[in-house]
Amino acid sequence: MATINFSVPEDLKAAFNETFNHQNKSAVIAELMREAVERARSRQRSQKAIANILSRRDEAPVLTESAFHHARVDGRP
């Protein structure tokens, strides 16, 4: 297992130690890091999907308001 050293403000360290008292702090930090990695990866996937949608939008056919309205009306049961 790897070791990571980093500095945090004293008030954060104190709050962390108080909040996670009697818990394996290494395990807590590892879980928080996993969650942070997953959030970052999810955000990257979302940004990629948005970019993909926007690029396709540039290639989509343009409909007039009238054509759009008729398509909505004609598609109704």
Q: How many CB atoms lie within 10 A of CB 39?
A: 10
> What pLDDT sits at residue 70?
87
One-character DSSP codes across 49-70: HHHHHHHHHHHSPP--HHHHHH
> What pLDDT sits at residue 52?
93
- Residue 23 sits at the vertex; the CA angle it makes with 18 and 24, to the nearest 5 degrees, is 120
Length reported for the chain: 77
Give residue 19's pLDDT band: very low, low, confident or very high (50, 70, 90). very high
54 and 47 Cβ atoms separated by less than 8 Å: no
Domain boundaries of the chain, sorted by first residue: 10-74
> What pLDDT sits at residue 61?
85
pLDDT digits (tens, 9 = 90+) for 29-75: 999 999 999 999 999 999 999 999 999 988 888 889 998 888 888 87
